[in-house]
Amino acid sequence: MEFSDVTHTCTLSVRCDTILDNMDWLDPEKVELVPEDGVIFPTTTVTFYEGESVFNVLQREMRKAGIHMEFEDTPMYNSAYIEGINNLYEFDCGELSGWMYKVNGWFPNYGCSRYQLKEGDVIEWVYTCDLGVDVGGFYSTGE
């Protein structure tokens, strides 16, 4: 995929606050990876190029910040699936746990590689311990 050289800005944050409320579910070997305030990457204004996705921005900014990130390409959904950020992975805090993203307060029902960013978008990556219910995600609305 080609991107334009036209740049825009958006904000990005990565948080795992929900783990703090569910430490008894957390894999004991992962306790030291959870920041005291739940913030892995504070809300930061970042630059992106026309045509880039939520995934492109997350990957670049995590690399720049030296924060470990692991993903898998999922051809069925034509998108990257985020398995772990900061060495916190899906299922580390219960069988319904993992990473979700929202843009401008909305949880898209498609992969992060398919969400094309617009100027001023607010990207939030949040760790859920309960399939999104604890972060106001898709499944909590009954849709």
Helices vs. strands in the chain: H and E counts, helices first: 2, 7
Give tens-digit pLDDT for 23-55.
Answer: 999 999 999 999 999 999 999 999 999 999 999
Mean pLDDT for all residues in the chain:
94
Q: Does residue 78 lie in a domain region?
A: yes
Non-local CB neighbours of 20 within 8 Å, separated by 6+ positions = 34, 38
Give the chain's domain count.
1
Q: Does residue 137 lie in a domain region?
A: no
pLDDT at position 3 is 76
CATH number at residue 35: 2.170.130.30
Q: Does residue 2 lie in a domain region?
A: no
**Residue that wins the pLDDT comparison between 91 and 141:** 91
Q: Specify whether the CB–CB gap between 78 and 110 falls below 8 A.
A: no
Q: What is the mean pLDDT of residues 51-60?
A: 98
pLDDT at position 138 is 58
Q: Residue 76 pLDDT more than 90?
A: no
CA atoms of 55 and 136, how far apart (whole Å): 21
- Computed on alpha carbons and rounded to an integer, the radius of gyration of the chain in Å comes to 15
Specify the DSSP class assigned to residue 82: E
Q: Specify whether the CB–CB gap between 102 and 124 falls below 8 A.
A: yes
Q: Report pTM.
A: 0.93
Q: Which residues partner with 101 through β-bridges? A: 125
Specify the DSSP class assigned to residue 17: H
Beta strands 88-89 and 7-15 are: unpaired
pLDDT tier, 137 (very low <50, low <70, confident <90, very high otherwise)? confident
Share of the chain above pLDDT 70, in %: 94
Q: Cβ of 52: how many Cβ atoms within 10 Å?
A: 21
